[in-house]
Amino acid sequence: MTSSRKNKSIIINTEVFGTLELIKNQVISNFSALMDDEQIRLANESGYFEGEPMPYSFGFAPPSEINQHTIKQLSAGERVNLVLEGRNVGHIDVDKIFKLDKFTREKNIFLANESANGRQLQLGEYAISGEFEIYDESIKDAKFRLKNVIKEINAKKITSVFLTADPFNRAHERLIRMTVDKADLVIVFLVRTLQENHIDYAIRKRVLEFFNQNYLPEKRVFVFPLENTTLFSSHTNPTLECIAARSFGANKLVIGQNHAGIGMFYDHNEAHTILDRYKNELEIEIIVLPELVYCNQCRTLVSTKTCPHGQHHHIKYHPDIIKELLFKGIMPPAILVRPEISAFILSELFPNRFKDVQKLCDDLFVNSGLLEKRTDRDFYEELMKLYQTSSMT
């Protein structure tokens, strides 16, 4: 075989890489290759391919003059490398080179995330079809672990939810707990955020795992990482969310009432949504949860449907506001974010913030009389306990 160093290369970005991961690992279809022009035409015209729902076709036409020049030089049977940030992350075994019909673009999977940065979502004039490989096996490994958990606990009622958890707050906690109550297993798909001002994905993943391990029943929630794609982040493609959830065995999908993609329309005086087209094939129940807020009259977390008090009594869980506090080094109120989670995030955002955290903790907080080694995270947790002391307020 020809050395990969001698193969021609196509430069891709993280968004394209993430979409290729989904295709290869059969997250959004059983079909796991890049389509040729005839396959694209069939999928786009019918909305189906090989008997399964196919709202977006898999036409791969990477933009830029360099990529397009490379594609024009390729031949059937040739192998071309996929390069991300200077690393060889996969390859395509070329089957066919063809001109991509411009009218197919609106139904192309690589343009499906309407909310992503326009510079990330572009297509060239010429496309490649064929089998391909992705060398990162993180999704494959996660699928294997999930399959084992389902088998181990004999899960029949499986519910899924897509979260950015940016940041993970009390409303997310309540949503997951409400879902766990009525399911054998909950799959939390942790997706990459679209926002530039965001908490790092690795931190959000560790926060979810921390909450799962310490505050939920064992093996009732599985955190499935989708780190490299924002395809589900904006919630503009509920059909894809249903397909992905169903591919992992879920029979329910939980979404919020403000889901951007569940637009309702009327036909012959009957209400319909975008999901109606595939509802028979997908065989998945959609659970729409109301908005969750903190009511200062009820003095607890409530849904807007069950609380009798007006909006002027409601504190909403605005992610940007909570992040603004965290990025300034301020612990959000405990009604917004669990103190242990705030402490975890702040200790990651501001490592080694204090000159001598041990002395600070010893002088400020009570202790058992034994010498206890303290960390920045311990400091934040103990500080929140002092804030919550109410006898002198």
Residue that the structure tokens 């030089």 belong to = 73
Q: Of 87, 117, 135, at which residue does a domain stop?
A: 135
Using CA atoms, how far residue 257 sits from 197, 252, 304, in Å, is 25, 15, 11
Would you say residue 371 lies in a domain? yes
Would you say residue 342 lies in a domain? yes
* Helix, strand, coil share of the chain (percent; to 5): 35, 20, 40
Q: How many domains does the chain have?
A: 3
Per residue in 236-290, pLDDT tens?
Answer: 667 888 899 999 999 999 887 655 444 443 344 443 455 566 666 778 888 888 8
Share of the chain above pLDDT 90, in %: 62
pLDDT for the residue 285: 86
Q: How confident is the model at residue 105 (pLDDT cuts 50, 70, 90)?
A: confident
pLDDT reading at 331 higher than 70:
yes
Would you say residue 223 lies in a domain? yes
Q: Which residues are registered as beta bridge partners of 12?
A: 84
Residues 347 and 226 both lie in one domain? no
pLDDT for the residue 265: 34
Residues 298 and 323 both lie in one domain? yes
Nearest residue to 95 (alpha-carbon basis) of 71, 116, 119, 114: 71
Provide the edge-to-edge strand list for the sheet that holds 126-134.
Answer: 8-12, 79-84, 87-99, 126-134
Q: Of 255, 289, 323, at which residue does a domain stop?
A: 289
CATH label of the domain that carries residue 169:
3.40.50.620
| Arithmetic mean of pLDDT over the chain | 87
Least confident of 101-115, 169-183, 195-209: 101-115
Task: Name the residue range of residue 341's domain.
Answer: 294-387
DSSP type of residue 34: B
Please name the helix (run of DSSP H) or strand (run of DSSP E) that holds residue 231, with its range, or none: none
Q: Sort 30 into a burial class: Cβ within 10 Å, 0-12 / 13-18 / 19+.
A: exposed
Residues 158 and 126 both lie in one domain? no
Residues 223 and 301 both lie in one domain? no
Between 212 and 123, where is the model more confident? 212
Per residue in 4-43, pLDDT tens?
Answer: 567 899 999 998 999 999 999 999 999 999 999 999 999 9
Q: How confident is the model at residue 392 (pLDDT cuts 50, 70, 90)?
A: low
Would you say residue 2 lies in a domain? no
Would you say residue 4 lies in a domain? no
The pTM for the full model equals 0.86
Report the distance separating Cα 315 and Cα 295, nearest Å.
Answer: 6
Q: Of 262, 289, 316, at which residue does a domain stop?
A: 289
Residues 284 and 300 both lie in one domain? no
Q: How confident is the model at residue 193 (pLDDT cuts 50, 70, 90)?
A: confident
